[in-house]
Amino acid sequence: MSVKRSFILLPGLWTGAWAWVGVAQRLKRFGHDARTITLSGLDDADADVSGIGLETHVDEVLSVIEKSDLHDAYVVAHSYSGIVAGIVADRMPERVAHTVFVEAFLPHDGRSLLDSFPDRVRDYELRTIEQNDGRWPPPDVTVVAEGQDLSRQQAEFLRTQMIAHPGRTVSEPALMSRPVSKLRGTYVVCEKDHFDGRVAPEIEALRAEPSWGFRTLTTGQWPMFSNPDGLSRLLSDVAAADV
C-alpha cells in the first residue's frame, strides 16, 4: 500500500539543504512530500553566528511545521540535527508522527552535543570554537572520506561545500520534557561508520524500547551521498510500516 508522507530532512554538522537534494528528489518520485532546510548560520560562512543557539534551530523547524500546517510529519535527522529533531518531536507530539535518526546524535535533557564526547575532547573542541569566532570548523577531506564509502570526488565536494558550524548549537544543552526513549523513532545505523558493528550504549539501549525501530545500511556516515537510493527506500519503508 502506497501512502504519501511529509518528510522534513534536517542537515547535520557543517551542511545545509544541499546535502539532502538527491534523497528529496527520490522521495518525491516515490510519491512523498519532502522538504529540505538550511539552518541558520549554515548558509553564509562569514555571517555573525553569536546570536544563533540550539533553540534558534529548534524554532526554525517548529516554524516550518506550523507554517506548512503539517500533521503526521516524518522528521529525518543526520548527525547534529538528531538533537534538533528530538527536541522538535518532544515539543510537537501532535504534529510529528515519527523521527528518523540517521547516524545522528540523540538529545538528552541538560546535555549538549559536545557533552557526548570525553571531557578532554569536549574541552579541546570548545577552545577550537572560541578560536574560530564562535564556529566549529569542519574536518579536512581525509577525515571526511576515510572509511565512509565515498569516492574521492564525493568527499572533495562535501568538504568544499561545508561551512563551519555555529558553536553555540553544539555547546548548549538540550531541553526535553521526556526522555528520547519515549519518542516514536527509528535509528539508522550505517555499518561502515562502526568498528565491529558496535554502536554507543545509549543507542543500543533503544532496542529495548517498544516505540523504537532499527534499520541498517551497509555504507558510511554520509549515506545521502554514498547510497541515496538505499536511504530513500529505507525512509519510504519506515513510513509504509506505520500504516
Q: Which three cell numbers stand for residue 224?
A: 545521502
Q: What's the pLDDT tens digit per position in 74-84? A: 999 999 999 99
Which residue's C-alpha cell is 572509511?
Answer: 147
Structural contact between residues 168 and 53, judged by C-beta atoms closer than 8 angstroms: yes
What is residue 181's predicted lDDT score, i.e. its pLDDT? 96
pLDDT score, position 152: 87
Residue with cell 561545508: 162
Percent of the chain with pLDDT over 70: 98
Q: Is the pLDDT of residue 1 over 50?
A: no
Distances (CA, A) of 93 to 70, 73, 178, 183: 12, 10, 11, 8
| The residue to which cell 558510511 is assigned | 220
Q: What is the pLDDT of residue 184?
A: 95
* Region 6-241: CATH code: 3.40.50.1820
Give the count of alpha carbons within 13 A of 168, CB side only.
Answer: 14
Which tops the pLDDT comparison, 41 or 152?
41
Average pLDDT over residues 187-211: 88
What 3-state class would DSSP assign to 54? helix
pLDDT tens figures, 105-120: 999 999 999 999 999 9
d(Cα 83, Cα 12) in Å, to the nearest integer?
10
Q: How many helices (H) and strands (E) does the chain have?
A: 10, 8
Domain boundaries, the chain: 6-241
pTM for this structure? 0.95
